[in-house]
Amino acid sequence: MEEMAYLDNSATTRTDDQVVRVMVEVMNNIYGNPASLHGLGAKAERLVTQAREATARTLGVSPGEIVFTSGGTEGNNTAIKGVAFQYRDRGRHLITTRVEHPSVYGVCKQLEEWGWRVTYLPVDAYGRVRPEDVETAITDETVLVSVMHVNNEVGTIQPIAEIGALLKRHPKVLFHVDAVQSFGKMEVRPKEWGVDLMTLSGHKFHGPKGVGCLYVREGVSLAPLLTGGGQEGGLRSGTHNVPGIAGFAKAALLAKERQPEAVRRWSRWKADLIEQVMSRVEGVRVNGDPSHEGGAPHIVSFSFPGLRSEVIVHALEEENVFVSSKSACSSKGEKPSRILLAMGLDPTAAVGSIRISMGYHTTEEEVERCARALCQVIPRLQKIMT
């Protein structure tokens, strides 16, 4: 049987062997509760402290600014709701974009139901927001701007540094960035960019599922979502997931180390994949910004008008090639991608879109196998549908 080509790394990645070994070691030997007063608890607490310090180094921030969470969804909810509730007396207006991940977009919709006002900024054909539109939307009631770094469906990079620079003129407006799809794939500099809150998720860079972190700039106050024992500086109560936290920190260090070489590989493979498919398949469209400067190196999005994404995904699966349609958090819905519609795609193109995404374990052979499969499967499906 031909080996599979796993190219759905933006949905999740295979946990790295080194990370697994760290977690097994911790589960076997450092199983105390960090809140316990005895020696086993103290040993676990020291490990959490070391993991916090290691994670902070990868982001260029202080250890006290790292809050461990269960992943991207909790991190985004904590950042947005935490600001909204904490600063509701200052104002009840938030700004975001039409192309955010469901864990941001859904939170904003929920806050609207609870009395907050949200401005959803439009994007261009690449899925990119204009910094000047952010500033134009700011009012005296605005407390937060939330813009993702890399779009999870099409890979477009948002102008985070430019937005952060203009928000310096509005010191009462906090800036949250969902960096779940960017950390480990490109440079992430929250301090340099003027970011107040930044979300990461371990399983997107070969760490464990169910653990992530939220960077909270010193001086920023949040209303906690989870109250109880007061862990994580009172921002995230609950017994620490010590093995997960240790695995997360190990994965973050590995990602930082591997990133430069991986980016070079991904960029080359992405360009080759686009060239092969565009030259051999009729009617195909590349979604997002395919350039090295404007698009993430590990994500490619294609649209095949007239076809349905689920049909393409299952046809490729029969060739042992695994990709996805839209965000894994919403891929089972039958509606066209909200992201692609916001970018101006016709619904017939939006429903026929797939996402190909690479990780550290991806090989050139896998990408080549995917290109061959697409160039065989798509014409066959197009012939059936005409």
Q: Which residues are catalytic?
A: 329
Angle at 153 between CA 150 and CA 158, to 5 degrees: 25
- Pairing type for strands 142-146 and 174-178 reads parallel
Amino acid residing at 211: V
State how far the Cα of 383 lies from the Cα of 379, in Å rounded to an integer: 6
Contact between 324 and 343 (Cβ < 8 Å): no
Amino acid residing at 354: I
Give the 3-state secondary structure of residue 300. strand
Q: What does residue 234 show for φ and ψ, rounded to 5 degrees?
A: 85, 0
Q: What does residue 156 show for φ and ψ, rounded to 5 degrees?
A: -65, 135
Three-state SS for 150-204 is: ECCCCCEECCHHHHHHHHCCCCCCEEEEECCCCECCECCCHHHHCCCEEEEEHHH
Assigned token pair, 175: 């800036």
Count the neighbouring beta carbons within 10 Å of the beta carbon of residue 345: 23
Please say whether the dihedral angle defined by the alpha carbons of residues 54, 58, 62 and 68, taken in this order, is positive or negative. Answer: negative
Residue for token pair 């960077």: 215
State how far the Cα of 21 lies from the Cα of 18, in Å rounded to an integer: 5
Angle at 46 between CA 43 and CA 52, to 5 degrees: 145
Assigned token pair, 139: 């009012």
DSSP 8-class letter at 322: E
Cα-based distances in Å from 281 to 125, 276, 352, 381:
22, 8, 14, 11
Find the radius of gyration of the CA atoms of the chain.
21
Count the neighbouring beta carbons within 10 Å of the beta carbon of residue 115: 9
